């Protein structure tokens, strides 16, 4: 085992105008040749700064103040800038999070990949381009040679990330650092990219550092794990051991916060509070303030990272077989079978595509939502899942009448809301509200929280000024924010707190329905758990109905009573949550389930070959017949010709549209196929 | 329900939550802004409090005292018709500042409302409104000013209107640009989903969020307006005597360049330069302080 990179007691500071932040304080690890180390933790824990320290690409004010980083034989801390430039891109390659911004839009991908080669190797332009074609082929870019002259905007997100990986690999680096390489990608693409990195590691015998917030990503794709919290490594061990037997309470908390591990009738374990402010870290164990097991000792003294193979920094480690108390129960919402609140019939939304000329001729249409029908019962949670671009966000906008459908109808509480003017809709708007995905963009940065929460009440003329103020205070209590928040601005809050404010605003008018469009996908797993718990509590309290939209099937499975799976504008499968999740019928649903990264190394490795392959086709020219057929392992000629109908698969309303389902449908006579389909 | 525990760092450090206080404290940490603000305050004191202490006659011509060099009796000398130059600088500054600030305010408010409405509504209303702006931009400002100033006898109010008429186009385009991106933001959508109408979106969400660029632009507008007034006066189309402004003073001083009457040229010239630069400093600092995200670091 030859160590490729050895980091010893690394300390990194970032000087800001208001003091110094210490995002990395005493991190040590070694990565051997051909080995993969996963660094995991919440955001703001110093993971990325550790990676950037190795590259010596710290943000302005950032500086390594102590420790050493040895790349094979050279010390990177002492290296001058010119020397570092020779190392970056040559001996150490890096993959950044967002493939949309890490490629230069003005350069062809061939030029971008060969640029790295030209910088580090004494070769001609032709040789560099040959090498570029070779690595682009290596990372699985289809028709790499022909694509050399394409510009990045012509490629999909997953393809761009492959190009970014090719750039990192162009000079055969000894070490590859991947900083959240798949966070901006869909689960189906994430799986393909992670497998690619794995495969390249074994083939090229590289060392890999995989930085991620997702324990599931770590499980299947790393040999060792380091759990970071507040700038320190809390626990580190070989991957299977950490997952089988986490010793540090923080690691355990991260596990318990994952919705895939919780029964849908149990609360998620939410780590209370937030990571500490790293400009003034607490004395003692840094996790003590949020730890369920902390004692006086933890607050007074800092535990050392001890142990050989499986090291952890804790005075009160969890025992080998010590089972934590199960999460408290939370009753699952159940549909009031008698009363459908929302009925969607044959919904179609097409966006015209116009030519660039002055006349803007219509040259086609993007079929974002194509003939979707479903019913949502009062007080249930309807979960809608699918890859990005499948039309789920378009549906959310249609449901709250932010957009008008091309055809079809939406009936809310017995009232047809399509085709009504804005003026007519105004009086119904209080009954259905939208909760946004991005907690940063959905709150007006110039308004205090008090005014933000009061705005809906003012618009709808609910009560007097005093009533409104009381209502706002009550809302803050309900979502668990202190009353001091009233006078603060949104930017003073963390992402999770902002999402609480967003939820409070959606609740202000006491709606019957809340459409939540990816409400937790911008949040850390621990904060995600807080918000999901809160949403379920509020649902019970206020008899709410949710339409919960997410790309993450494990989150939807946890919150939803009914799941609808969308693919390229079509609803392909719908049914009771447990049935869809445990016994899917449509090959696409099966594939989606297989792409969820599980926090269990054995299961994760076992399903390595399953999952949806390829990428979502263009919605402008959707495939004929079944739209999934281009990626479907079971597709036949029939699928290209005939569009499959929704067929029943259980009497509880489990239905799917597939010519070759994973099990046969129940006979039509026993189901009420002609009756309105009830989930 | 999970209450936010006590160890919540982000909720505690917020003594500076008032918008104005926060802006001011951010401005005051910027040294250039303090300098700019200091110069502006000094000039305001000079122009308005100065005449209360330093009494001069700025009405009656006294040719026997014409063009005296600086002396104890007249610290900055006298001009070609015998007015005390220091006293005239104070009185002239009043007009320059008043016209400058008033014209900038008028232009900014009108331009902001115009731009916000155009940007929010989009479609053909936007096109129509912005073509009006383009058409006015196509007319040379100086030509327009000369034309208007020549058909009517200039007064301070007329000048304010005329200067505002040519300078609201800049803020209108800026705000329209900002509104185009702001109207697609989630918080504007959310106001609409609560049932809020277009006026609320424009005045409660879009205009306040464009306020950063608006205020910054306004300070530059003040500087510009003072310069335009100076230019107009320089061309002899300013407010007629005995009223005075810095541009007027500079223009009449220039004719005596070869006579060596430097005290007629440098003081008003420097005053214009200082005030314009001071407003620009302030504008830069305000731009930084209005960007909430820049403050976090």
pLDDT tens for residues B220-256? 888 888 888 878 777 767 777 667 878 778 777 777 7
Question: A437 to chain B nearest CA, in Å?
Answer: 9
pTM (predicted TM-score): 0.81
What is the per-residue pLDDT across A556-605, written as a single tens digit (0 to 9) for each?
Answer: 988 999 999 999 889 999 999 889 998 999 999 998 888 888 777 777 77
Whether residue A480 and residue B292 make contact (CB cut-off 8 A), yes or no, is: no
Q: Hey, are the CB atoms on B209 and A289 less than 8 Å from each other?
A: no
Q: Beta strands of A81-203 (E only): which ranges?
A: 92-95, 175-179
Helix B207-234 to helix B246-254 angle, to the nearest 10 degrees?
Answer: 30
CA distance B71 to A551: 82
Rounded CA-CA distance A567/A58 in Å is 41
Q: Which of B142, B143, B100, B164 is nearest to B231 (CA)?
A: B142
Q: pLDDT digit string (tens) for A188-232?
A: 888 888 888 888 898 889 999 999 888 888 888 899 999 999 889
| Lowest mean pLDDT across A150-164, A269-283, A658-672 | A658-672
pLDDT band at A5 (very low <50, low <70, confident <90, very high): very high
Range B30-45+82-291: architecture per CATH = Orthogonal Bundle (1.10)
| Facing residue for A482 by CB, picked from B11, B17, B195 | B11
Domains of chain A, start order:
3-82+206-312 (3.40.50.300), 330-560 (3.40.50.300), 577-679 (no CATH)
> Which tokens is A412 given?
């809310």
The pLDDT mean for chain A works out to 85
Query: Pairing between strand A381-385 and A545-550?
Result: parallel
From chain B, the residues in CB contact with A401 under 8 A are 193
Instruction: Output the pLDDT for position A631.
Output: 86
Among A191-205, B67-81, B86-100, B134-148, the minimum mean pLDDT is found in: B67-81
Q: What is the pLDDT of residue A671?
A: 46
Chain B, 178 to 217: residues with Cβ < 8 Å from chain A are: 185-187, 189-196, 200, 204-205, 208-209, 211
What does the pLDDT look like over A240-279, one tens digit per residue? 888 888 889 898 888 888 887 777 778 888 888 778 888 8
Inter-chain touch A433–B194, beta carbons under 8 Å: yes
Count other C-beta atoms under 10 Å from residue B32's C-beta.
Answer: 16
Find out whether A238 and A35 touch, Cβ atoms under 8 Å.
Answer: no
Q: How high is the ipTM of this complex? A: 0.76
Buried b (16+ CB within 10 A) or exposed e, A649-678: beeebbbbbbbbbeeebeeeeebebeeebe
Residue B3, pLDDT score: 38
Q: Minimum mean pLDDT among A107-121, A219-233, B27-41: which range?
A: B27-41
The domain segmentation of chain B, as residue ranges, is: 30-45+82-291
Instruction: Please report the number of interchain residue pairs, chain A to chain B, with beta-carbon separation below 8 angstroms.
Output: 117
Contact check, Cβ <8 Å, A488/B193: no
What is the reported pLDDT for A347?
92
Instruction: Indicate if the pLDDT at residue B4 is higher than 70.
Output: no
């Amino acid at each position: 085992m030859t160590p490729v990179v050895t980091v010893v007691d690394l300390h990194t500071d970032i000087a800001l105008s208001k003091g110094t932040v210490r995002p990395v304080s005493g991190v040590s690890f070694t990565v051997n040749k051909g080995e993969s180390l996963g660094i995991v933790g919440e955001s703001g824990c110093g993971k990325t700064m550790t990676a950037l320290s190795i590259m010596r690409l710290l943000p302005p004010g950032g500086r390594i103040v102590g420790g050493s980083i040895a790349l094979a034989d050279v010390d990177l801390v002492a290296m001058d800038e010119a020397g570092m430039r020779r190392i970056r891109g040559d001996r150490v390659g890096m993959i950044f999070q967002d493939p949309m911004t890490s490629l230069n839009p003005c350069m062809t991908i061939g030029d971008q990949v060969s640029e790295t080669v030209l910088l580090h190797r004494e070769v001609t332009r032709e040789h560099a381009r040959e090498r570029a074609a070779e690595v682009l082929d290596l990372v699985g870019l289809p028709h790499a040679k022909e694509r050399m002259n394409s510009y990045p905007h012509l490629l999909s997100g997953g393809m761009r990330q492959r190009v970014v990986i090719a750039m990192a690999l162009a000079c055969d680096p000894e070490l590859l650092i991947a900083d959240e390489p798949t966070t901006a990608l869909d689960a189906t693409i994430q799986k393909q990219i992670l497998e690619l990195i794995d495969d390249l590691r074994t083939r090229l015998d590289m060392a890999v550092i995989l930085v991620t917030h997702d324990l599931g990503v770590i499980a299947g794709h790393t040999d060792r794990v380091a759990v970071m919290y507040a700038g320190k490594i809390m626990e580190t061990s070989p991957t299977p051991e950490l997952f089988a037997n986490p010793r540090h309470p923080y690691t355990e908390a991260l596990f318990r916060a994952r919705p895939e591990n919780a029964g849908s009738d149990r609360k998620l374990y939410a780590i209370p509070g937030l990571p500490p402010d790293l400009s003034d870290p607490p004395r003692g164990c840094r996790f003590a303030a949020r730890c369920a097991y902390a004692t006086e000792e933890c607050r007074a003294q800092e535990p050392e990272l001890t142990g050989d193979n499986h090291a952890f920094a804790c005075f009160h480690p969890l025992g080998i077989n010590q089972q934590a108390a199960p999460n408290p129960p939370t009753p699952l919402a159940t549909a009031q079978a008698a009363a459908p609140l929302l009925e969607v019939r044959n919904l179609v939304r097409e966006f015209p595509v116009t030519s660039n000329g002055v006349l803007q001729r219509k040259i086609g249409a993007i079929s974002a939502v194509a003939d979707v029908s479903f019913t949502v019962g009062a007080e249930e949670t309807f979960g809608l899942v699918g890859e990005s671009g499948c039309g789920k966000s378009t549906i959310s906008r249609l449901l709250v009448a932010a957009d008008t459908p091309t055809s079809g109808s939406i009936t809310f509480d017995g009232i047809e809301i399509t085709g009504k003017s804005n003026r007519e809709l105004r009086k119904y708007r209080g009954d259905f509200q939208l909760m946004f995905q991005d907690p940063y963009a959905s709150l007006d940065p110039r308004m205090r929280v008090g005014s933000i929460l009061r705005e809906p009440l003012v618009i709808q003329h609910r009560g007097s000024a005093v009533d409104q103020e009381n209502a706002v205070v009550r809302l803050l209590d309900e979502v668990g924010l202190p009353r001091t928040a009233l006078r603060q601005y949104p930017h003073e809050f963390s992402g999770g707190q902002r999402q609480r404010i967003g939820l409070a605003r959606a609740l202000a008018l006491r709606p019957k329905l809340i459409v939540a469009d990816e409400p937790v996908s911008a949040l850390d797993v621990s904060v995600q758990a807080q918000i999901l718990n809160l949403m379920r509590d509020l649902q019970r309290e206020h008899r709410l109905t949710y339409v919960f939209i997410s790309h993450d099937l494990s989150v939807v499975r946890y919150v939803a009573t009914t799941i609808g799976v969308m693919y390229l504008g079509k609803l392909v499968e719908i049914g009771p949550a447990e049935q869809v999740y445990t016994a899917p019928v449509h090959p696409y649903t099966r594939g989606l389930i297989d792409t969820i990264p599980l926090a269990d190394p054995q299961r994760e490795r076992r399903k390595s070959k399953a999952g949806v392959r390829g990428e979502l086709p263009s919605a402008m020219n959707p495939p004929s017949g079944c739209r999934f057929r281009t990626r479907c392992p079971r597709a036949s000629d029939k699928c290209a010709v005939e569009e499959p109908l929704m067929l029943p698969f259980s009497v509880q309303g489990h239905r799917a549209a597939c010519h070759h389902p994973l099990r046969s449908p129940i006979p039509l006579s026993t189901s009420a196929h002609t009756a309105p389909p009830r989930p | 329900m999970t209450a936010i525990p006590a160890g919540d760092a982000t909720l505690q450090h917020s003594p500076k939550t008032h918008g104005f206080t926060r802006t001011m404290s951010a401005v005051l940490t910027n040294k250039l802004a303090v300098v700019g603000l200091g110069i502006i305050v000094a000039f305001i004191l000079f122009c308005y409090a100065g005449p209360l202490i330093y009494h001069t006659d700025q009405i009656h011509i006294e040719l026997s005292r014409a063009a005296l060099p600086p002396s104890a009796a007249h610290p900055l000398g006298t001009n070609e018709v015998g007015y005390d130059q220091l006293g005239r600088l104070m009185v002239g500054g009043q007009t320059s500042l008043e016209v400058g600030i008033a014209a900038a305010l008028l232009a900014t408010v009108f331009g902001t409302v115009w731009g916000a409405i155009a940007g929010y509504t989009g479609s053909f209303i936007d096109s129509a409104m912005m073509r009006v702006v383009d058409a006015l931009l196509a007319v040379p400002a100086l030509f327009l000013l000369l034309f208007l100033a020549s058909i009517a006898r200039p007064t301070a109010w007329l000048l304010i209107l005329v200067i505002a008429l040519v300078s609201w186009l800049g803020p209108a385009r800026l705000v329209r640009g900002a509104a185009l991106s702001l109207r697609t933001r989630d918080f504007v959508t959310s106001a609409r989903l609560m049932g809020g109408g277009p006026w609320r979106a424009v005045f409660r969400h879009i205009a306040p969020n464009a306020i950063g660029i608006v205020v910054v632009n306004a300070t530059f507008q003040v500087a510009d307006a003072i310069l335009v007034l100076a230019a107009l006066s320089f061309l002899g189309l300013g407010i007629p005597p005995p009223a005075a402004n810095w541009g007027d003073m500079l223009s009449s001083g220039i004719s005596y360049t070869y006579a060596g009457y430097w005290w007629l040229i440098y003081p008003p010239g420097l005053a214009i330069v200082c005030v314009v630069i001071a407003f620009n400093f302030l504008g830069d600092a305000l731009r930084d302080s209005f960007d909430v995200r820049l403050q976090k670091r």
